Homo-oligomer: A and B are copies of this chain.
């Protein structure tokens, strides 16, 4: 989603009422250069601290899920104990930094197309995603 676009229009296009809470959340999520990976907690903090916007927690959850359903956000499973969301809704792979708990997008050139030779009868493949877990390289005892 480009910078400075009209979030009111965007929301209307998918049938979401452009309430001020939703518009503010769009600003936080999409007025940025790069993909944003976040937890609900990250988002609540950004809204209250950086944006000075008091939004009830229930609304943050509701809105995130509304955005997810409309294709504005994608949920990423990295850690069974917390939900991560991604403003990059296309199919893509991730690095996960186990030290900082940060997600990093891969692009096409980082990982070759995965070829799946297994087939499950009656089932179709919905997605194929790779997760590369990394951590600091601290056994350099030269």
A→B interface (CB under 8 Å):
75, 77-84, 95, 97-99, 104, 106, 109-112, 114-118, 120, 122-137
B109 close to A117 (CB less than 8 A): yes
Q: Which residues of B contact A126 (CB under 8 A)?
A: 98, 133-135
Distance A125 CA – B78 CA, assembled complex (angstroms): 15
Distance (whole angstroms) from the CB of A55 to the closest CB of chain B: 21
Distance (whole angstroms) from the CB of A99 to the closest CB of chain B: 8
A129 close to B127 (CB less than 8 A): no
Task: Give this chain's copy count.
Answer: 2
Q: Which residues of B contact A137 (CB under 8 A)?
A: 122-124
Most buried by B among A104, A116, A137: A116
A130 close to B114 (CB less than 8 A): yes
Q: Which residues of B contact A79 (CB under 8 A)?
A: 77, 80
Distance A124 CA – B104 CA, assembled complex (angstroms): 14
Residue of B nearest to A76 (CB): B80
Q: List 6 A-B pairs, minimum CB-CB distance, nearest first.
A: A110-B118, A123-B134, A80-B83, A124-B137, A126-B133, A127-B133
Distance A95 CA – B124 CA, assembled complex (angstroms): 11
B114 close to A111 (CB less than 8 A): yes
B136 close to A123 (CB less than 8 A): yes
B106 close to A120 (CB less than 8 A): no
Most buried by B among A110, A111, A132: A132
